[in-house]
């Protein structure tokens, strides 16, 4: 029998749960996949009122074929956690595919894994990728060599289907898409700065202004250290 395809989701406090639970829901139906959700020392992780337990300790994972890093409000704290970042660098060094959802691409970039690579990210933090030598992409799913990244949060499902198609072909991806009845038809036109009504975009910018300023400043400080 062939070896399973090992997919690792490294998670941390403050991760956005849909960044990894969305892709995980699709990837677990892929033939031959072994999915591991892990944290530093296997510690429990809290995410938006949900608690994830019985996680694998990152140092105990010898290798992976796909490293998939999710984003979240705790991303900047994860960037400062040397134990976490050391494992990202170690697993990413030999992974066949370096992948991410939302601000997870910032973690890959800060680990030195995306120099000169195009990567998607949540629109609010996309430009910060430049600080680590990556190239920001506004695509919902971006592919640059062995780097496949999804934009903000819900883009993780589209990313997962793109990854499944890469690994097992479009028929398998579409089979899983049908099984999970993924046929998005949002009730409103929006969801990106380009599509959202101007007054909605202005409102969201105002709501996020203070926290975004702090996050961007901290990421800039990390990039300079």
Distance from C-alpha of 199 to C-alpha of 206, rounded to nearest angstrom: 11
Contact between 38 and 8 (Cβ < 8 Å) = yes
Give residue 225's pLDDT.
87
Residues facing residue 53 across a β-bridge: none
DSSP state of 53: -
Tell me the three state secondary structure of residue 148: strand
Task: Outline where DSSP puts E strands in 31-154.
Answer: 33-39, 45-47, 50-52, 56-57, 66-69, 97-101, 118-120, 135-137, 141-144, 147-150
Does residue 148 sit within a domain?
A: yes
Quick check: 164 pLDDT over 80?
yes
Can you tell me the mean pLDDT for 188-200?
A: 96
**Interval 13-64: pLDDT, tens:** 999 999 999 999 999 999 999 999 999 999 999 999 999 999 999 999 999 9
| CATH code for position 64 | 3.40.50.880
Give residue 1's pLDDT.
52
Q: Which two tokens stand for residue 142?
A: 């971006």
**Interval 83-138: pLDDT, tens:** 999 999 999 999 999 999 999 999 999 999 999 999 999 999 999 999 999 999 99
Closest CA to 14 of 69, 95, 59, 71: 71
Give catalytic status of residue 102 as yes or no.
Answer: yes
Q: Which helix (H) or strand (E) holds 8?
A: strand 5-10
**Mean pLDDT of all residues in the chain?**
97
Does residue 197 sit within a domain?
A: no
Does residue 22 sit within a domain?
A: yes
Band of pLDDT at residue 208, cut at 50, 70 and 90: very high
Give residue 170's pLDDT.
98
Does residue 205 sit within a domain?
A: no
Catalytic residue chosen out of the listed positions 64, 68, 75, 102: 102
Contact between 161 and 26 (Cβ < 8 Å) = yes
Query: Rounded to two decimals, what is the model's pTM?
Result: 0.96
Does residue 131 sit within a domain?
A: yes
Please state, for a pLDDT cut of 90, what percent of the chain lies above it: 98
Quick check: 2 pLDDT over 80?
no
Does residue 51 sit within a domain?
A: yes
Give residue 41's pLDDT.
96
Domain that holds residue 97: 5-185
Domain total of the chain? 1
- For 17, 162, 223, the CA distances from 116, given in Å and listed in that order, are 29, 22, 15
């Amino acid at each position: 029998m062939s070896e399973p395809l090992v997919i690792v989701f490294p998670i941390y406090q403050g991760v956005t749960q849909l960044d990894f639970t969305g892709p995980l829901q699709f990837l677990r139906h892929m033939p031959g996949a072994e999915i591991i959700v892990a944290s530093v020392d296997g510690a429990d992780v809290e995410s938006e009122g949900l608690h994830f337990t019985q996680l694998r300790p990152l140092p105990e994972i010898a290798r992976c074929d796909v490293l998939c890093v999710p984003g979240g409000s705790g991303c900047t704290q994860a960037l400062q956690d040397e134990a976490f970042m050391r494992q990202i660098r170690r697993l990413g060094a030999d992974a066949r595919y370096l992948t991410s959802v939302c601000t997870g691409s910032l973690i890959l970039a800060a680990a030195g894994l995306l120099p000169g690579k195009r990567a998607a990210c949540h629109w609010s933090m996309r430009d910060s990728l430049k600080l680590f030598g990556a190239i920001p992409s506004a695509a919902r799913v971006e592919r640059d060599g062995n780097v496949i990244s999804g934009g903000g949060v819900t883009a993780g499902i589209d990313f997962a289907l793109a990854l499944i198609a890469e690994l097992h072909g479009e028929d398998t991806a579409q089979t899983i898409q049908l099984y999970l009845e993924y046929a998005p038809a949002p009730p409103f036109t929006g969801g990106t700065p380009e599509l959202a009504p101007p007054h909605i975009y202005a409102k969201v910018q105002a709501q996020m202004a203070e926290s975004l300023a702090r996050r961007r400043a901290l990421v800039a400080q990390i990039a300079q250290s």
